[in-house]
Amino acid sequence: MTLTATRPRSGRTPRPRPARSRSILLTSSLAIAVAAVLLPFYWLIIAATHSSKEIFDSPPPLLPGGHLMDNLSTLESSAQFSDVIVNSLLITVIYTIAAGAICTLAGYGFAKFRFRGSGALCALLMLGLVIPTQVTLIPLFKMMVDLEWLGTYQAVIMPNLALPFGIFLMRQSMAALPDELIDSARMDGCGEFRLFLKVVLPPMKPALAALAIFLFLFQWNDFIWPLVVLRDAGEFTIPVALASLQGLDQTDYGALLTGTALAAIPMAVTFDRPVPAGVEIGGTVVENITATPSVVISGNVFRNVPTRGVLVTTRKPVLITGNRFDGMSMASIYVSADAYQWYESGPVGDLTIRGNSFTRPSGPVIFVEPTNQVIDPATPVHHHISVEHNSFDIGDVTVVNAKSVGGFAFTGNTVRRLDGADHPPYTSPLFVFHGSSGIRIARNHYDKGLNTSVVAN
């Protein structure tokens, strides 16, 4: 993938590059900071391969030893660690799925439904963020005793399912979802459950991924509550089992650090995303998203950008969803094919523009132009472009200007006038197509006074 961040040109003289000495100093400082962060993890792995006696040698060992299998054997015999890992995985996976579903539904309810007392209920929920866990231990323990749940998985999982931070995270993420997207889906007859699954959740994938990671690590590392409610060694989770290895007079630190290293594996897993979840708009735009298996651009705000918002020049599937384009000076979404500056560019073959809001745009809002191409209607350059369930609040401008497209759908969108229907009608056609075929425009909602004609040649 090639991701280029560009800024509009101005008449200012470019700043000179930093001096070489300053660059070397910065690089050296960063290298020292990275080493300081990674050194404890490196030593943890090294210590897991040594015996307790070797760990306390002076100077401490910095190279791998030969006691890893002995430490693993001690860990298994002392703490039934294979069963403990299964317990932790089972509890954590069930908790992540269940708590993720509850937090997402609750966040959606707080973000998009207005009911009496919703504000007070939300404020009460936020208070849960500042209540220390220790304050709730005794009341929760008494509840577990009354329910006869002590020593069971549900005692560990159930109390924190409606986690306040998780609900707050999803509420804030879903508040940015345009109401027009949800309203248009309801007007098309979409039921609430299907609307939630098919319309609301897809743009929330970055937030859902963040929530899942947070919930997984929260439960994986939880120590106090499992220690309180779990009774037998065969039921322990990893943090509790590791704590049980510390004796009053003797501790096998080799086995203990080996278990700690195994427990840290999920926290060392990284995720590589091809496109950033957010774009900082200070004259910066996303351009030339090419040579990548697929692209999702969601949850961003493009406001008063004096150039294009998103430039797409890739053959791979692209989804642009849940974004806000406000006051764009050029096309909000620009589709090209073979701009000579970028050798990776190619015809667009699968582009979906769904659930975005476009306010005060310059025309055309969506501009499809195969630059450097000879237009031949029999062999269109671009294929399969779908514009669905978006909202457009426009002046007298063209919404779509597309050239050399085979298969273009504009469905379920809402187009409104900025100045209201009591002003003179707009003259600019909403749709202009050149050398294109397979055009479908249906089930859209238009304000009165819009020029809904389709110009095609």
- Residue 89 sits in a domain whose CATH number is 1.10.3720.10
- Asked if residue 318 belongs to a domain, the reply is yes
CB 297 within 8 A of CB 286: yes
Q: Do residue 254 and residue 324 come from a single domain? A: no
Is the residue at 363 inside a domain? yes
Q: Is-cis flag, bond preceding 380, omega within 30?
A: no
Query: Is there a single domain that holds both residue 312 and residue 447?
Result: yes
In a domain, 127, yes or no: yes
Same domain for 240 and 302, yes or no, is: no
Closest by alpha carbon to 290, among 315, 321, 320, 309? Answer: 315
The answer as to whether 10 is a domain residue is: no
Q: 310 and 165 in one domain? A: no
Question: Which residue, 243, 268, 293, sits at the end of a domain?
Answer: 268
Asked if 392 and 300 sit in the same domain, the reply is yes
Among the candidates 268, 302, 331, a domain finishes at 268
d(C-alpha 369, C-alpha 318), whole Å: 17
Q: Encoding tokens for residue 77? A: 């015999």
User: H or E stretch including 27?
Assistant: helix 20-47
Position 17 scores a pLDDT of: 54
**Among the listed residues 83, 44, 14, 1, the one whose alpha carbon sits nearest the alpha carbon of residue 293:** 1
What CA–CA distance (Å, rounded) separates 350 from 274? 17
Q: How far apart are CA 260 and CA 163, in angstroms?
A: 26
Domain count, the chain: 2
Q: Are residues 205 and 320 in the same domain?
A: no
Kindly state whether residues 337 and 254 are assigned to the same domain.
Answer: no
**Domain membership flag for residue 68:** no
Residue 449 lies in a domain: yes
- What 3-state class would DSSP assign to 409? strand
Asked whether residue 302 falls in the same domain as residue 436, the answer is yes
Task: Looking at the structure, tell me whether residues 99 and 188 fall in a common domain.
Answer: yes
pLDDT value at position 345?
A: 59
pLDDT at 88: 93
Q: Tens-digit pLDDT profile for the chain (457 aa)?
A: 334 444 444 445 555 555 577 888 888 999 999 989 888 888 888 988 988 888 888 888 888 888 888 888 888 888 888 889 999 999 999 999 999 999 999 999 998 888 888 888 888 888 888 888 888 899 999 999 999 999 899 999 999 999 999 999 999 888 878 777 787 778 777 888 888 888 888 888 888 988 999 999 999 999 999 999 998 888 899 999 888 887 656 778 888 888 888 888 877 665 544 434 433 333 334 444 444 567 888 888 888 876 778 888 777 888 999 999 998 888 899 887 654 444 445 778 889 999 999 999 887 999 988 765 567 777 888 889 999 999 999 988 999 999 888 899 999 999 999 887 678 888 889 999 988 888 999 999 999 889 898 988 8
Cα separation of 405 and 211, whole Å? 39
Provide Rg for the chain, Cα atoms: 29
pLDDT at 16: 52
Side-chain-side CA neighbours of residue 61 (13 Å): 20
Distances (CA, A) of 317 to 14, 45, 197, 290, 351: 37, 41, 21, 10, 6
Q: Are 335 and 368 in contact (CB under 8 A)?
A: yes
425 with 394: CB under 8 angstroms? no
Query: Could you tell me if 202 and 97 lie in one domain?
Result: yes
CA distance 176 to 76: 49
Last residue of a domain, one of 242, 268, 294: 268
Burial environment of residue 125 by CB neighbours within 10 A (0 to 12, 13 to 18, 19 or more): middle
Contacts 24+ apart (CB under 8 A), 46-50: 47/253, 47/254, 47/257, 48/254, 48/257, 48/258, 48/260, 48/261, 50/254
pLDDT (0 to 100) of residue 18: 55
Report how far residue 407's alpha carbon sits from residue 329's, in angstroms, rounded to the nearest whole number. 27
Measured distance CA(262)–CA(252) in Å, rounded: 16
Same domain, 215 and 331: no
| Domain presence at residue 172 | yes
Say if 35 falls within a structural domain.
no
Same domain, 310 and 436: yes
SS3 278: coil
- State residue 366's pLDDT score: 93
> What is the domain extent for residue 220?
74-268
**Hunting for tokens 């509840």 — which residue is that?**
143
For 74, 77, 182, 219, 259, the CA distances from 243, given in Å and listed in that order, are 15, 15, 49, 16, 10
